[in-house]
Amino acid sequence: MKVLVTGASGFVGTALCTELDRRGHSVRGTFRLPKNGIFCCEQFVTGNIDLNTEWSSALADVDVVVHLAARVHVMRDTAADPTNLFDAINNQATRKLVQMASVAGVKRFIYLSTVKVNGETTAIGRPFIESDVPAPVGAYALSKHHAEQGVRKMATEYGLDWCIIRSPLVYGPGVKANFAALIGAVKRGIPLPLASVQNRRSLISLDNLVDFIATCVTHTAAANQMFLVSDGKDMSTSQLINTIGRVAGKSARLFPVPVHVLEIFARLLGQRTAFDRLCESLQVDIGKAKAVLHWVPPVELEDALRRAVNERAV
């Protein structure tokens, strides 16, 4: 089977191309810029993705498209008009790709979305499920929600199978941003005032996400379905930090500060978003993935964290 992976040089894309190649698929990847080095996929350079992107050559003879390329959420966005930019790249360009995929005879379109379409937080013990009414907050989540709507509507009209995957935070070797900063803080022995945080967060390792996407490429029951995915084991922030310390061979230096005090300081410092990520709960239920696809995460959470903490990206 020939699979086109957009965003093939990204954190998820690189790992996915490797896994699809290992499973015997013919893999083609799109790149924003030419990449030197050895890749396990055929390269197509698209430049920046927008409504003018020409996909025809990349789509030739492709059976399945896995659309990963996107403008990702950033904490401090410096774009002049981030709302329109998110919409142009994540929504409008996705719709054009679906249209051109149908013209090229693609059979299935897989779209990697985000749990942020469901919302930002959950009550402990009440995880998001696929049938929940979407409650996206912010330009990034709205653009992914609108793209999901476009994928479902247009793929159905054009006769393609569609599959949408909503993922929480993804971690693994080479992870960047906040997760990398947290690993670095634990390794350096920086004291963290999070011992009292007893929330619940769903995460997914790169290995488990890639396995799930690769499963959806071929599984007949994945057609015209939307799935929430995770490692299947939720942790509090304090448990996560202690586990990072354990797999890193370090002693996590946590000390207790009441959560309501942390929230007050976060508000005063303009760090409400950081507080939410560290102290609020966000859980997903992967029961549908288990029931429909008989999928279980192949890598245990602690083993995946050990890889993220101790291994370099391939």
Output phi, psi for 70, to 5 deg. -165, 165
**Alpha carbons 13 and 116: distance in angstroms, whole number:** 20
pLDDT: which is higher, 79 or 288 = 288
Gyration radius from the chain CA atoms: 20
Domain 2-173+203-230+283-298 has CATH 3.30.420.40: no
- pLDDT value for 155: 95
Q: Which band of pLDDT confidence, cut at 50, 70 and 90, is reported for residue 24?
A: very high
pLDDT per residue over 147-168, tens digit each?
999 999 999 999 999 999 999 9
What is the residue-averaged pLDDT of the chain?
A: 91
Global pTM reads: 0.92
Contact partners, residue 257, CB within 8 Å, separation at least 6: 193, 194, 195, 196
40: confidence class by pLDDT, cuts 50, 70, 90: confident
Least confident of 69-73, 203-207, 240-244: 69-73
285 within 8 A of 127, measured Cβ to Cβ? yes
Per-residue pLDDT, 272 = 82
Burial of 222 (C-beta count, 10 Å sphere; 0-12/13-18/19+): buried
Residue 77 pLDDT more than 70? Answer: no
Q: What is the mean pLDDT of residues 288-296?
A: 97
- Residues 88-97, mean pLDDT to the nearest whole number: 94
Work out the pLDDT band at 28, boundaries 50, 70, 90. Answer: very high
pLDDT of residue 313: 61
* DSSP character string of 15-80: HHHHHHHHTT-EEEEEESS---S--SSEEEE--S-STT---HHHHTT-SEEEE---PPP-SS---S
pLDDT for 74: 62
pLDDT in tens, 186-234: 999 999 999 999 999 999 999 999 999 999 999 999 999 999 999 999 9
Q: Catalytic residue positions? A: 140
**pLDDT cut 70: percent of the chain above it:** 95
Map tokens 């859980």 to a residue: 283
Mean pLDDT, to the nearest integer, of 287-294?
Answer: 97
Residue 79 has pLDDT above 70, yes or no: no
Distance CA 41, CA 218 (A): 18
Q: Which helix (H) or strand (E) holds 226?
A: strand 225-228
Q: Do 67 and 110 contact (CB within 8 A), yes or no? A: yes
Q: What is the mean pLDDT of residues 43-54?
A: 84
Distance between CA 259 and CA 116 in Å, rounded? 23
Given this model, what pLDDT does residue 273 score? 83
